[in-house]
Amino acid sequence: MGWWGKVIGGGFGFMFGGPLGALAGMALGHQFDKGLNLAELEPGNPERVQLAFFTATFSVMGYLAKADGKVSRSEIQMAENIMGQMNLNAEQRKAAIALFNQGKQDDFQLDEVLTQFKQECHRRTSLLQMFLEILIATAYADNSLDSAEHNALKRIAADIGFNPQQLEQLIRMVGAQQSHGQTPRPSIDNAYAVLGVSRDISDAELKKTYRRLMSQHHPDKLVAKGMPEEMIKLANEKTGEIKSAYEQIKQSRG
């Protein structure tokens, strides 16, 4: 039984605790309360991390959408698109929307939520990076990144352990990946940006970078570490964009 099955069946209960537990409790309602008398899942358990990932993703997505003072239709559409890509059932979608709305509230405890999320992930950097990439894509939903959203991303990145240089590289890469997927014939410069490398990179370093990125975004590895299995399609799209860019660069080099 997966993480959602345990929520429905009562396998989580109040063992979660903290701000993430409070958010999940409000979003899941009576289903979450069913677990009061059942065994706890130990910290680091993949299914517990999956619930943390789901809870943090949609609540912080709501916070980010409100960062510039208003929630645009494109940002709501991005959240809906991610829900659609995840093939959420009716109850999961209801919970995701509730979390998104909680994140928009003025009293949303961003720093506390992110501190607990980082702890729940147990130093699984690739998982934290995927979380950050999803949020960057949300900020780019309207094809722009304004200063308020940029500042919010800086705060989010710092809370989960990414320095400003790492964030800026991810912003460039995610922006290029979004463009790469939307353009019939993306430029070679765009392909290099998707991989986060410059044109003068050696063939050996290019291949090394490609393999590292494919490993970081490998769907099975991410799910094993705690990404909800419903997000496999998002990871597959990432690896598809990375592979397409790499093949384009290889072809251009002959």
**Angstrom distance (rounded) from CA 73 to CA 64:** 14
Question: Could you tell me what percent of the chain has a pLDDT over 90?
Answer: 48
**Angstrom distance (rounded) from CA 78 to CA 145:** 14
pLDDT of residue 84: 82
More confident residue, 72 or 13: 72
**Angstrom distance (rounded) from CA 10 to CA 36:** 7
pLDDT of residue 199: 94
Is pLDDT of 163 > 90?
Answer: yes
Mean pLDDT, residues 40-56 taken together: 78
Average confidence score pLDDT of the chain: 84
The contacts of residue 82 (CB under 8 Å, 6+ apart) are: 61, 134, 138, 234
Instruction: Work out the end-to-end distance of the chain between its first and last CA atoms, rounded to an integer number of angstroms.
Output: 48
Check: pTM over 0.75? Answer yes or no: yes
**Angstrom distance (rounded) from CA 231 to CA 96:** 13
Is pLDDT of 30 > 60?
Answer: no
Question: Could you tell me what percent of the chain has a pLDDT over 70?
Answer: 85
pLDDT of residue 37: 34
| CA dihedral for 105, 110, 116, 117, sign (positive or negative) | positive
pLDDT of residue 7: 61
Q: How confident is the model at residue 83 (pLDDT cuts 50, 70, 90)?
A: confident
